[in-house]
Each structure stands twice: as C-alpha cells, then as structure tokens.
Structure 1
Amino acid sequence: MQKFPFKAALSLTAFSAAMLIASAPAEAREITAAVATGFTTLDPWDAVDNLSRAVSRSFYESLYTFDKDLKPVPQLAESYEVSKDGLTYTFRLRQGVKFHDGTEFTADAVKMNFDRGMNPDSKLTRRTFFKFVDRVEVVDPYTVRIVLKTPTAGFIQRLANGTAGMICPSLLKRATTKQVTAYEACGTGPYTLKRFSPAEELYAVKFPNYRVPGLPKFDAIRWVPVTENSTRAMMLQTGEAQFISPVPNEQFLPLSKSGKLTLQKTPSVVTRYLSMNETKKPFDDIRVREAVSLAINRKALVKVAYNGFAVPSTGYLPTQIEGGVDFGEFPYDPKRARELLKEAGFPQGFKTTIWSAYNDGKTVKTLQFLQQQLAQVGIHAETKALEAGQRTVIYGAKTPEESQHQLYLIGWTNSAAEPDWGLRPLLDSRSCPPVLNNDSYYKNPKVDALFDEAIRETNAEKRVELYHEIQKLVNADKPWAPLVFEMVTAGTAKELKNFTVLPDGGFDFYSAEWKE
C-alpha cells in the first residue's frame, strides 16, 4: 500500500459572504455576501451549478477539499492509502466530528452518502461524477474503504470539489425525494441553515459545536442573489454587503480606487469556447471549422466583451491544470479563413446560427462580437442567447440527429481541477448529450481510447503524456474554437479578511474575520 499522510489539517475551503448588520463595524457579527445568480439546491450531490455547491459548503464538508491553489487537502479525512493496483482507497477519518443534529460522523455516514449518490434510482444530477466507484465498505467506525471499478486518476481531486458533501444520516433517512435535501441542510460544516429561498436568500448561522476551535468567527452569513451588476456593486459601496462576486468588469477599476474596499482578481479554470456541431453541414468539414477559428481575434474579444478580465485561450485546458498543453495564441488570419472557405466550396460564405448557453450582458457582447468577426469572412450568423429552459434543445437530444444547434457559445468550469474532467465531458464521443457536454458531437476513436488509458494510468508522468496526446489530436481536428480563459473577481469591505474567491469560482471563507 502506498501511503499519503496529511498533517496540514486546517487548510479549508468553502464559500462567499458578506453583509454587516451590526451598528459598529468593529462589532460585526453577521456578514452578507451578494452573488450573481440564484441557487438551484442545497444538495451538493444534485447541484449542476458551481455556485450552489459553493454556498452549500456553509453546511457540508467532504473527505477532502481544495486549498487556494486547487490542490486537494484533507477535511473530514486525516489520510488515505491506495493499493498498488490503484483500485482501493482506504481513508482514516477524523474522530470527534459532530453533525448538526448532534450525531457523530463515522464511516457509516460516508457509506450511506456514497450509496445514495451512486444509486441510479436517486436520479441525482452529479451521480456520473463518481460512476467509476464500485462500492464503499466500512472497515471500522473511523476507517472507510472505497473500491473503484477501474483505476481513476484524479479521484482525490473529485472528492475535493464539493460534490461529495457528507449529509447527516438522519436527513438522508427522511429524504424520500430530492426536494427534501434541496431545501434542508444538515452536515458537519461551520454553519447551520436558518432559512432558504432559492431566488432571495440563504441565511446560515454559526454551528456552536464545529470541530475547529474558534471557527467560525461570524454568527451568521447571509447569501443574497443579486443579478443586476450595478446593484451588486452599489451594495458593496454602501456597506449593505461586505462581499460580492463577481465584481462587474466595468466597475472593477473605480471600486479598486476606494480606500474602503479590497478587490480580488484571480485567473480561473473557466474556459469559454465556440463549439461546432460536426453532425451539421458545413461543420463536418475541418476546413470550415478551421476557418471559423481563424476568423476570431481573441485579443480584441478580451477587450470588447471582458474589459480585460480574461486572457486569450492558449489551449483546451487552463494553464493551472496539470497536463494542459500550451499551443500559444490561436492565430487570427481572416485572409486564410476566406481561402479555406473557398476550398471547402463556399467562396461566397454561408448562413448559420450561433446559440449561447447564457444570456448575461458579457455573453451578449461576445455573441455580437463573434457575429461581426464571422461576417468579415462571409459567414453570416443569426444569434440567440438561450435561457435555462431553452438549453434542453441541446442537452435533451438523445441522438446527434435530434440536435438543432450549429455554432454554440458555451463555457466549462473544471471543478475537479484535473485534466480528465476538463476534457472527457467535452470531447469523448461517449459524452455527447444527454450524457454530458460533448455538444460538438466530436468523435475520434483514438481520442476515446486514450481517455480510457489515461484515467487508468497510475504513473503521473505517463498520464500527463497521454493527456498531451489527446489535446494534440483534438487540436488537429478542431471540433471547437477555444476563445478565452476567464478571470474570477470579488470585492470585500476592507475590514473583511480571509474571504476569497478561488480559481474555480468558489470561495474560501471558513476562517473569515472582521479586523479594523
């Protein structure tokens, strides 16, 4: 058995918050955090959006979590051992940890959570995230064994991303439907749930029996969805909120000049790209796909749509992810794009559509920019920013023939911070909708085989080589045009310390405190 002991016990991660309710800031015991969208659920096993998983860390902890650099560190586990064949992980759990209902956290709770999370009958949206897990076995009250179907690189990273939050067994026993865990919360985290309205407020209060002495340092965190950018920024300026994320790009510089605020800007693991549906003509022709990529000036896109809060993509994985290939800046060459279209039989260009997965202001600007760029090489596109319900036309498709989109503006947050989850859901032919997010319907049998080989490879150097090969093959096939890697932003009252935004868009707030 190869053993991985961890002793840096208090490096913890979680989520955003800030609003001051005290008369004197120095006495602040309650903070308000304003975020950009509403919440979908409190259940991390069922949250399709990163924000909901992020705020659920107010209540839920996992065996492992991420530090500020997205490196996995222990949380409810103390250490783990992995067998030589890479199939069996044995975790030693922390002792004396209490759930919010007063019961003790033990290996039985770990098994109950995973059994529920992997059960197809549960219909939890994040079930596929751990589909490689075969079974969970209780060794003793503080030792649990997780057996995998195949060796899976990045397993610890997946444990750390917040999906596998440990829910109280008492709540799970009552959870006859997903609605129960969507609106109720009971975990081991630093806060307990007082009230919750998905579009209005998540109010969490201090858990007095939290396992880390002295934490949390606030009596309450109030999470408030504020979709209007200017309103969110104003709340920070007036002190109605002590934390906001994201900061509106156009207001970042003015706010940073205030002596009362602290602004944060962090390179993220969020990539934006233009997917091309290879089952729809003319995007089945690689010359057309390459022409689309060559028609886009990514440096100009960063200025026009992102106000500089992004960098042009240099590959298919953000640079922080181990195993990413840096291809350099993707070229902007409209002349060559027109030549390729002529070679492909479109000397006068053609008409198409660009749909977007989002309808916020930044995305609308991106759509308009892409429309103008493509028009310059003869590709005339109608644009449509989809609402959440409309996206089912893409992800509800059961066959490529049922898909309706042609060009699709989309993004991906690599919440596991490892190469497989950054590539496989988007580029494996077995990940086409409705399974996952290969919305280009890209299919390369060699790429599929390399995905299977890479995730089973236990040698880190060999695994990186395999992911490099995958990315080089994908870049040659050009199923989509990488656009930008975004930056994540946040703003805090100057007195609010240790409340930060992370590269995955989540928040580190467990040790947040108020200091004059």
Structure 2
Amino acid sequence: MFQRRFFTAFLTIFVALNLVLAGCSGQSSSNADQKSKTNKNPEEQPIAKKEGNSIVIAVKDNLISMDPHDTNDTLSGSIQSTMLEGLVGFDKDMNMIPVLAESYEASDDAKVFTFTLRKGVTFHDGTPFNAEAVKVNIDRVANPDNKLKRYSMFELVEKTEVIDEYTVSVTLKEPFGAMLNHFAHPAGRIISPAAIEKYGKDVAMNPVGTGPFKFVEWNQSDHLAVEKNPDYWEEGLPIVDGIKFKPVPESGARVAMLQTGEADFIYPIPTEQAESINGTDGIIVENSPSIVARYMSMNTTKKPFNDIKVRQAINYAINKEAFLKVVYRGYGSEMDSVIPAGLQFYSKQTPYPYDPEKAKQLLQEAGYESGFKTTVWGGNNSDAIKAMEFIQQQLGEIGIEVNVVPMEAGTLSDKIWSVQEAKDAEVELFYGGWSSSTGDADWGIRPLLAGDAIPPKSYNVAYYENEKVDQLINEALQTADPEKRKAAYAKMQELIWEDAPWAFLMVEDTMAGKKNYLEGVYLLPDGSMNAREAEIKR
C-alpha cells in the first residue's frame, strides 16, 4: 500500500506543478534540455586527483556470463568486450568496422561471406588466432545441439570453411542481407578454441580472447577484474593497467562511489541525480540518444492477456509522458513504434494516448469491468523498481491490481529464459528493455516477437504469435533489397502495434557519469559500454 500511496502522491504533485520537469519530446532534445537545467560547466572543473593506473567501473546489475555465445544481456556483453573481439564490430556511432578481420565481402546473393583475417594475433592463452579458430567458434554457436542463447543469430549458417590459414568463408542456408550485422554483434566474438575444449560450458566463467585486457578473476558477489594484455595486437593499447567491474544495483550507492572516487565511471546515472552531481566532485555526466527500448511484455497465452482489448487497455492506461518524466526525468523519448527511431527500417506509428476512460471501456468489453490481479517481474535495480511501481500505480487507477516482484538478474534470467515449454511459463507481465545491437530492424523485432522465438530458443517473453507478422519477417529475411525489406518491416510494425503484445513505454538516453580525469570510456547507442581505450589524464 505504501508504494501505491507514494506514487499517487508523486503523480499528483507532478501534475499540480504542471509538468515543470524538463521533458524530451524527442531524443535529440535531451542534451539541450540537460544543459539548460544547470548553470555549472563540468568542463571547467579542476582535474580530480587519481592514484594508480587502474580504474573501477560500477554497474547496476550482476553479471551473468562471460560466454558471448550464451549471453543475452547487454551488460555482460560490455564487460566481455574488454577481453573478447569479433571479426567485425561497431565504432562509437555504430558504424561497422573491421576488427579481427582485415577485410570482408559478401556474395551478390547475400549467402556467402568471406573474411580475410588479421595476422599475428594470439589468444591470451597463447593459442594462435586463425581461420580454424573462427570456424570452431561459428560452428559452436550455430549448432542447435549446444543450446546456446545466441544460436538464433547464427542459425542460418550452413557451413564454415577454412580457405587458408587467414581466410574463412561462411555459407548460409538462404540469403540474409543483414548477416554482416550479426557478425558485428557481441554474439560474434571469438573465444580461444583451446579454452572451449578445456572448460566446455564453464568457459562462461573463464573467458579467453584476443582483447586488450585479460581475465583475472570473477567474484560473483563482488567484482570481475581484468588486467592489461601486454601482447595486444593494436599498437598503443591498452593504456590503463587494469579494470575492476563492480555490480552495484542501488543507484545512490553507485553515485556515492563516483563522488568519493571509489569508482571512476558508473552507468547508468540515476536520472534524478544527474543534474545535482554534474560539475561537482570532478564529475561529468554524459547523456546521448540511444536505441534502447523500454517496454512491459504481456504473456499473450495467459488470461486475461490473451485478449487484445486487455492489452490495448493497458497501453491506454499508462501515461507515457508522465512515465518518462517521473521515472527517467525526461531523459529519453516516448516509443512511437515497436523499435526505436535510430534503427534501420523504423516506421512511426500513432501512439496510444493516455486515456483511462478508454482503458476502462475496453476492460469492460473484455469482461473485466472490476479489473483483475496480476504480477509484474523485473530487475532489482533502482530504475526497474521505480518503473514497475509507477506502472502499478497507473494500472491501479483502472482496477488492475499489480504485484511488483523485483528479482536479481540471474534469478530473473532463469525464470524467464530457461522455460522449455510455453505452457510452463509463469511470467505474466515483464518489465524489460532491448538493445538491438546489430543496428537493424530485424534484431529489434524477430528475437522478441517472432512466433518461433519463444523461450528458450529466443526472447519472445510475450509468447506472441501472429501468422502475418511471421510471414513478413520471413519475407524480410529472404532479400537484400532495402526497399523490399523496408516495406515488410513497415507493415509488421503496424500489425504488432495494433496487437499490443507490449505496453510500449519509452526509448531511454544512455546515461553515464565519470571522473574528469578519465577518457576513452563511453556508451554506444545500444547501451553497451566500451572501455578498450580507457586512459587516465594526469
């Protein structure tokens, strides 16, 4: 009851103040709004003092796995990026760049992809990096018998061939124009074949890659540490001696670590504290538009969420503008499609307006005039809890009583993604987010909403199936013609928006805080972090 009274009071004050908090009508406005809300110039602060040449990065959730082929969370992938690398990757603006491959090409029919590999690279355990190592990795993730979480990204692979020591060719079962984006995704990172053989599934706790930092230890209750790789192939890197990643779910504790210097970089920054700490204690707060969508999925196989009117009612019942401003302090934009505007083939839809009376009418038509009880699952970090409590308050206004159940990341992962049969899924509502780390509409829709993407195969936690949507997804996969893909994605976004398997909430800004002596650590638009070039200014 306290939670509901608190948010009712909060929302009342919010409305009474006539929405005075600076809002973001679009992603591009958030940086300007932030600057207008403070008179401090963080760039004019004296450089804070720093001892030693190692850094600490505090993050909001516990880490799940260091196996890129068996990881479905962006945070774990971010830490992996310091140790593991792929054939291709993304730069700061998510433009594709060569990494372990010096060059690459695709056949005209988008079925054969050939990579010329970088010479003179070795894994941290001394194993040589070559075409055979690439084949071992791709064959591993593309084998359905291995039951790896990223299988769906490589399931089209028919064969991987070693052409010579430094040339490898991957042939697909059918054309797929977006396949290079999948190689650039964190799931395409390469592990030492010797480590795969030595550790098996336990390679998730013993990562061995080619990156600028080497794995040292992982104390799952406290931190994961990496150290400088003196034999790294890229000249001039790494610069710092080591990095320690510390999971700190409570937002205030993360901020305190940054203020005291216990941490050098934290993310995300709690939006309610962004203004007050920016420009103080040697802190710089950075926020930028992202491609990270926040939504609440509804299990469409369970009553009452199998009724489209109930799902649409929930969309009408949540004030998205208030959600954005109360929960995220305006650092983001309201969702106006299934995918964020920054993704290729995005197509804008007509948003569900805030209309509680319309929501009540739809519930009545669905036979739930008196409402119902349900449960929402989500993470146990401060942002997720605040978001779920806001949703609890909003749905309570139309008679839906929501029980909020925050969970530690590993527990939540097991309860959602490890379910073998749809009928055994206990989830009703799930507050989560998705970062389409390929930059393409395919990865923003197919893993989350395709009929054949339900757990454990992929991430369709709404257990949503629409035959027409599935047909359009297949059509988009069968061609590399951008105009044909654009048409297919536009229609499927329209159909999914109408079906409302999610409560469509917002696209967040990336939010990070750092000490002003730190350079080379930043967030990408997909919400992942890059610390490869971390450097301490003196």
Match of 1:431, SS state, is coil
The answer as to 2:201 corresponding to 1:178 is: yes
Instruction: Return the match for 2:61 from 33, 37, 40.
Output: 37
CA contact (8 A) 1:39 1:199 kept: no
Instruction: Return the match for 1:299 from 317, 321, 328.
Output: 321
Partner residue in 1 for 2:150 = 126
The answer as to 2:268 corresponding to 1:253 is: no
Q: How far did residue 394 of structure 1 move?
A: 4.5
Match of 1:274, SS state, is strand
Match of 2:190, SS state, is coil
Q: How far did residue 490 of structure 1 move?
A: 1.2
Deviations 1:64-99 (A, max 9, x none): 111112222110112211112211001111122232
CA distance in 1, matches of 2:425, 2:98: 42
Gaps of 5+ in 2: 1-47
Q: How far did residue 288 of structure 1 move?
A: 2.4
Count of aligned positions: 490
Partner residue in 2 for 1:378 = 399
Deviations 1:162-190 (A, max 9, x none): 22222223323323x311x1232322111
Q: How far did residue 28 of structure 1 move?
A: 4.1
Instruction: Return the match for 1:237 from 253, 259, 272.
Output: 259
CA contact (8 A) 2:149 2:458 kept: no
Equivalent position amino acid for 1:161 in 2: H
Deviations 1:321-368 (A, max 9, x none): 11112225431112222232333344x332130312323332222222
Superposed, which structure 2 residues align to 1:88-237 within 5 Å?
A: 88-175=112-199, 177-179=200-202, 181-237=203-259
CA distance in 2, matches of 1:380, 1:287: 17
Equivalent position amino acid for 2:360 in 1: R
CA distance in 2, matches of 1:368, 1:54: 28
CA distance in 2, matches of 1:36, 1:282: 33
Q: How far did residue 396 of structure 1 move?
A: 4.5
Partner residue in 2 for 1:19 = none
CA distance in 1, matches of 2:50, 2:115: 42
Residues 162, 351 of structure 1: alpha-carbon distance in 2 compared, 3 angstrom cutoff = same
The answer as to 2:75 corresponding to 1:51 is: yes
CA contact (8 A) 2:150 2:187 kept: yes
Match of 1:357, SS state, is strand
Partner residue in 1 for 2:19 = none
Instruction: Return the match for 1:366 from 383, 387, 393.
Output: 387
CA distance in 2, matches of 1:163, 1:403: 26
Deviates more, 1:379-388 or 1:195-204: 379-388
Deviations 1:128-156 (A, max 9, x none): 32111111101111111011112223212
Deviates more, 1:270-279 or 1:205-214: 270-279
Deviates more, 1:78-87 or 1:27-36: 27-36
Instruction: Return the match for 1:263 from 272, 285, 288.
Output: 285
CA contact (8 A) 1:249 1:306 kept: yes
Moved over 6 A (4+): none
Residues 343, 100 of structure 1: alpha-carbon distance in 2 compared, 3 angstrom cutoff = closer
CA distance in 2, matches of 1:397, 1:42: 21
CA contact (8 A) 2:89 2:185 kept: yes
CA contact (8 A) 2:371 2:398 kept: no
Instruction: Return the match for 1:463 from 472, 485, 490.
Output: 485
Residues 472, 495 of structure 1: alpha-carbon distance in 2 compared, 3 angstrom cutoff = same
Partner residue in 2 for 1:509 = 531
Residues 37, 199 of structure 1: alpha-carbon distance in 2 compared, 3 angstrom cutoff = farther
Equivalent position amino acid for 2:112 in 1: T
The answer as to 2:316 corresponding to 1:314 is: no
CA distance in 2, matches of 1:400, 1:165: 30
CA distance in 1, matches of 2:514, 2:286: 8
Match of 2:163, SS state, is strand
Q: How far did residue 48 of structure 1 move?
A: 2.8
Q: How far did residue 378 of structure 1 move?
A: 3.2
CA distance in 2, matches of 1:337, 1:503: 34
Deviates more, 1:225-234 or 1:373-382: 373-382
Instruction: Return the match for 1:65 from 86, 89, 92.
Output: 89
Residues 105, 406 of structure 1: alpha-carbon distance in 2 compared, 3 angstrom cutoff = closer
Q: How far did residue 467 of structure 1 move?
A: 0.8
> What TM-score does the superposition give when structure 1 sets the normalisation length?
0.89
CA contact (8 A) 1:194 1:204 kept: yes
Q: How far did residue 513 of structure 1 move?
A: 1.7
Q: How far did residue 121 of structure 1 move?
A: 4.3
Match of 2:293, SS state, is strand
Equivalent position amino acid for 2:216 in 1: K
Equivalent position amino acid for 1:494 in 2: N
Deviations 1:47-75 (A, max 9, x none): 23222221112111100111112222110
Deviations 1:258-282 (A, max 9, x none): 1612211122222122223332333
Instruction: Return the match for 2:438 from 416, 420, 425.
Output: 416
RMSD: 2.2
Residues 404, 168 of structure 1: alpha-carbon distance in 2 compared, 3 angstrom cutoff = closer
Residues 100, 475 of structure 1: alpha-carbon distance in 2 compared, 3 angstrom cutoff = same
CA distance in 2, matches of 1:41, 1:253: 33
Equivalent position amino acid for 1:73 in 2: I
Q: How far did residue 214 of structure 1 move?
A: 1.2
CA contact (8 A) 1:352 1:406 kept: no
Match of 2:244, SS state, is strand
Match of 1:429, SS state, is coil
Partner residue in 1 for 2:99 = 75
CA distance in 2, matches of 1:493, 1:394: 37
Identity rate, percent: 39
Gaps of 5+ in 1: 1-23
Q: How far did residue 390 of structure 1 move?
A: 5.7
Q: How far did residue 227 of structure 1 move?
A: 2.6
Q: How far did residue 115 of structure 1 move?
A: 2.0
Deviations 1:270-302 (A, max 9, x none): 212222333233333322222221111011111
CA contact (8 A) 2:152 2:458 kept: no
Partner residue in 2 for 1:452 = 474
